[in-house]
Amino acid sequence: MGRGDPGRSRGRGLPVLVVGALLTILLPVLKGSLPASAAPNSHPIAGHGRRVHHHEYVGRAAAAVIRAQPATPSSAAPLGGSWTSLGPQPIAATSDDPAASGRIAALAVDPSNSAVVYAGAAGGGVWKSSDGGVHWAPKSDAQLSLAIGALAIDPNSPAVIYAGTGEGNGCADCLPSQGVLKSIDGGGSWVLLGATTFTADTFFFEGLTVDRANGQHLLAATNRGLYQSADGGTTWARDATLTGGVNAVIQDPTTPAKFWAATADWCKAEAGGIAVSTDAGASWTSLTLPSLPRASRLALGVGANGVAYASVAACAVPGYANGQLAAVLKTADGGATWTAQQPGSTSGLIDYFSEPSSSSYQGWYDTTVAVDPVNADRAVFGGVTMLATTDGGSSYHDIAKPYTTGPIYPDFHTVAFTGANSFYAGNDGGIWKTADLGGTATAADWTDLSGTLGVTQYYAGDAIDSTHMAGGAQDTGTSGLLPGGPPPPAWLSLLGGDGGGVAMIAGSTHLYTEDAHLRIFQVDTASGTESLAAPCGSSGTDPACLDRTGFIAPFVMDPANTARLYAGSVRVFRSTSGGLPAGAGGWTAISGDLTTGTVVKATGDVITTMSLGSGTTAGTLLTASRYGKVFRSANADSAAQTWTEITGNLPAFANVNDTGNPWIASVVLNPANGNEAWVALGAAGIGRIWHTLNASAGAATVWSDLTGAGTTALPAAVVDSLTVDPLAPGTLYAGTDLGAAACTTCGGTTAVGSWAPLGI
């Protein structure tokens, strides 16, 4: 998964908002055509190869300042009417990748019927299947939060389900908690519990357990400690002992009064450990583990009769990289003694937190351990790939092989066993199941269950109309609903890896899209080819290759000349040849550094959003950076350019941590007035929508807060994206962590921030 700046909308022409896992298409505007052909180094998209699915790390303190405020929706009447999903369900399979949907953070199986399974998606809410995963239906679309971190079923009353909102996978696009959702009718309806507790600070759920001896007793593993409820989730209290990050809490399958907890906090204060309680959570004892490096994250699986396994992802300490597998641990005596196995020390034990032949590790992000309920000698260990042992850890074998011959997606977050050798697995591509413990990672060993899931997480997108659209998504690349593709609601896979911005061209089979770190491609959907069209060419020696870039970096296309592209690193690059050839031959830097130059926790400032004018504002380009600088050029299309800072009186960057959202999430230019612009801040608790009518005034630029107040205020949540109605430039659409909202009075000299939800 690549998780850079979440939910940035950079659609061209057709306003596109990214809201949760939804790519929301708003208004049709046609664009020109591109008379371009594929470059000599182009290659078929049907065999685009299995791109590395990286993930961008964000420390867990990162979002604390900007997201500490309780998020509340607007109470104004909705404007959006009814909505219909256009997909993808799923992103269709290619010769390289299986059919996919999006990141699954949690799974729970009905203990009385293994065909009934619930899935918690990172940005798509709770889904339910009653036929073993063949068909899925959304169950929580109307709830305040669709970011699910943990699921639990009452084993004695399986119609009672709990969903901990706030995804605890340590990523930049992991949204914080709004509380615990509870259903007593199998997901048919929900109530929100614990909102006061779990919005008092920035909370993320990593585990949730219902005590099988007392269904009113719940235990929750969060980034801010272990929380327990004695009244079915109505009230919660933090445990006095386990007050730091808790990665898992599991009830012992043999002894009901015994609970296990894994502790680590993404390298902030804790060293990492395992604790047990033998009195139903009333008190906890830390266990003695082998000497290991400090843990970034620790996954835990508990089997019968005192057997448990754990995986330790290291912090960045001498000898280890952040997220590297330090060891697999095992106990066979209830935690009294443990053995540690390092990668390479045991047959088949590889560092499954890394892609093949890579020094990039993701154990801080994708890690899960689960034990077969019938035979504790059988266990599975998920990371980038997944290993299994059938002999209690004497040997291991890869049961996924996502980057070579395997039929399954990478980046595993959750496993739910249904019986001997049988389990469901959730990863960045969706849900799979196996009946033979993954076998030897062949198509016969795994069944893809993602076909009817609609949980793809889009970073950005573009559309021409309701039958021509495409988006760049987290870890599932770029996909599109296009003529000649699979029938809706399935979408065509256009580019693997991590998707980003998209620019579509009316009347042409060409489009532009990108992989992580500004790797722009020109794609021809008719010929099935893709061509690298980025400022940094394949040699890696171009000047642009030395620049910092955002994980999902911005680029825009000139609607009047679709061969003219602008791309942002710390400066702006321009191409007048459709990005071809890639590198210095096709791109020229047209600005200096347009950022603050600030580096926070090793993350340097970069351009995160751009907006280009058209018609009477042609050549006017706005840029904004992660840490708060805004610049304007009125002649970006000329031979010589001038740039003026227009940050003016915008709120200064105030988060001492590396923010999950950039301080400036979106900048938008009025296409009919080059002096009018809007800025959206990726923050809560302050003004988040700002407006100016004198964008050419340089340092004297004055911005006014249009966040609004009272019942017509913008939802009190992080703003992810902002777009303007090109046919009515005073109308804005904002995508927030709590849905989309519209303002029809946000332009001109009488601008007033009066917002109404769009019903999505």
Q: Is 371 within the bounds of a domain?
A: yes
Task: Name the more confident of 750 and 95.
Answer: 750
Tell me the β-bridge partners of 274: 262
Q: Which of 396, 421, 454 is the last residue of a domain?
A: 454
Give the domain CATH number at 647.
2.130.10
pLDDT of residue 356: 86
DSSP secondary structure letters along 391-415: STTSB-EES--TTTT-SS-S-EEEE
Q: Is 80 within the bounds of a domain?
A: no
Q: Is 348 within the bounds of a domain?
A: yes
pLDDT tens sequence across 173-195: 898 999 999 999 999 999 999 99
Question: Are residues 330 and 433 both part of a single domain?
Answer: yes
Question: Are residues 325 and 390 both part of a single domain?
Answer: yes
Task: Name the more confident of 135 and 738.
Answer: 135
**pLDDT mean over 465-483:** 93
Question: Are residues 579 and 724 both part of a single domain?
Answer: yes
Q: Region of 698 please: left (phi>0), alpha (psi -120 to 50) or beta.
A: left
**pLDDT mean over 109-129:** 98
pLDDT of residue 76: 59
Q: Which of 400, 435, 454 is the last residue of a domain?
A: 454
Question: Are residues 728 and 609 both part of a single domain?
Answer: yes
Question: Are residues 582 and 695 both part of a single domain?
Answer: yes
pLDDT of residue 162: 99
d(CA 150, CA 248) in angstroms, rounded, equals 10
Give the domain CATH number at 373.
2.130.10.10
418 has a pLDDT exceeding 90: yes
**pLDDT mean over 736-742:** 90
pLDDT tens sequence across 554-579: 999 999 999 999 999 999 999 999 99
**pLDDT mean over 461-485:** 92
pLDDT of residue 716: 85
pLDDT of residue 30: 28
Task: Name the more confident of 658 and 264.
Answer: 264
pLDDT band per the 50, 70, 90 thresholds, residue 661: confident
**pLDDT mean over 509-535:** 95
Q: Is 489 within the bounds of a domain?
A: no
In terms of residues, how long is the chain?
A: 760
Percentage of residues in the chain having pLDDT higher than 90: 79
Q: Is 625 within the bounds of a domain?
A: yes
**pLDDT mean over 727-752:** 93
66 has a pLDDT exceeding 50: no
Strands lying side by side in the sheet with 325-331: 295-302, 308-314, 325-331, 339-341
Q: Is 505 within the bounds of a domain?
A: no
C-alpha gyration radius of the chain? 25
Residue keyed to tokens 């006017």: 620
pLDDT of residue 204: 97
pLDDT of residue 685: 77
Q: Which of 454, 486, 511 is the last residue of a domain?
A: 454
**pLDDT mean over 246-258:** 99
Question: Are residues 420 and 567 both part of a single domain?
Answer: no
- Supply the mean pLDDT for the chain: 89
pLDDT of residue 657: 53
Residue keyed to tokens 């940035």: 8
Question: Are residues 193 and 307 both part of a single domain?
Answer: no
**What is the total count of domains within the chain?**
3
Q: Is 671 within the bounds of a domain?
A: yes
**Do 404 and 356 touch, CB atoms closer than 8 A?**
yes
For residue 8, give the nearest of 467, 626, 429 by alpha carbon. 626
Q: Is 91 within the bounds of a domain?
A: no
pLDDT of residue 17: 54
The residue segments making up the domain with residue 62 are 35-75+535-757
Question: Are residues 226 and 351 both part of a single domain?
Answer: no
Question: Are residues 123 and 60 both part of a single domain?
Answer: no
Question: Are residues 351 and 420 both part of a single domain?
Answer: yes
Question: Are residues 560 and 704 both part of a single domain?
Answer: yes
Question: Are residues 364 and 442 both part of a single domain?
Answer: yes
